[in-house]
Chains A and B, each alone.
Chain A
Amino acid sequence: EAGVAQSPRYKIIEKRQSVAFWCNPISGHATLYWYQQILGQGPKLLIQFQNNGVVDDSQLPKDRFSAERLKGVDSTLKIQPAKLEDSAVYLCASSQGIPSPLHFGNGTRLTVT
């Protein structure tokens, strides 16, 4: 079974620039999550999709972050414009649905200079 695929693995941008991350979940997993993990902290949920609908985006900074999952499969997370404090690892995870566990991709390490 192929795991969760994410790209790119690393990205370095200057503040005020834009960036996009891509995620392809495990086949058949209806639920997809984007997490932000700052060094030394646990993953923080940004947005949760069920198929192509948003379940929870209460912690997504909507003035600069956006995410979509148009066909209920892969997803894109965008930041525009980026701030220094956005430097973190962005993790995508998928699951078959509650109460099944999450499976994470390798993550994208973002550095904003």
Chain B
Amino acid sequence: QKEVEQNSGPLSVPEGAIASLNCTYSDRGSQSFFWYRQYSGKSPELIMFIYSNGDKEDGRFTAQLNKASQYVSLLIRDSQPSDSATYLCAVNPRNQFYFGTGTSLTVIP
């Protein structure tokens, strides 16, 4: 069983819409959760992270945790063409970092 699983997509949304990305994790002991954005040919860059004690909003981005169902979501409001990228979910159980395979998002102008 993989530590982190994501739907690879591609996910397409029109400009201005809300994009919703999800990932599931297997280790119930995971305490922190991370979302990275990766443009084609570039390295991952941190968007935001949350701990197991609650959701977080940062500008157009909201990260939400559902501990009972073991999934984490990232909502992008007012999606822009510049948001088109692959979004990687990461968790760190047992002091290790595990990444999902990423979800490809395309925002259509």
Contacts and interface: CB of A to CB of B under 8 A. Distances in A.
A4 to B, nearest CB: 9
Contacts, number: 50
Contact of B102 (A33, A42, A45, A48): A42
- Chain A contact-residue range equals 20 to 34
B101 A55 contact: no
A45 B46 contact: no
Nearest to B89: A42
A91 B43 contact: yes
B88 interface: yes
Interface in A84-111: 89, 91, 93, 98-99, 101-107
A97 B1 CA distance: 26
A43 interface: yes
Contacts of A98: 32, 92, 95
A101 B88 contact: no
Interface string B1-37: 0001010000000000000000000000001101000
Contacts of A103: 46
A57 to B, nearest CB: 11
A101 B46 contact: yes
12 contacts: A41-B101, A42-B4, A43-B44, A45-B97, A91-B44, A93-B97, A98-B95, A99-B31, A101-B46, A102-B46, A104-B44, A106-B43
Given A43-B44, A101-B46, 9 more contacts: A35-B99, A40-B101, A41-B102, A43-B99, A45-B98, A102-B34, A104-B44, A105-B43, A106-B43
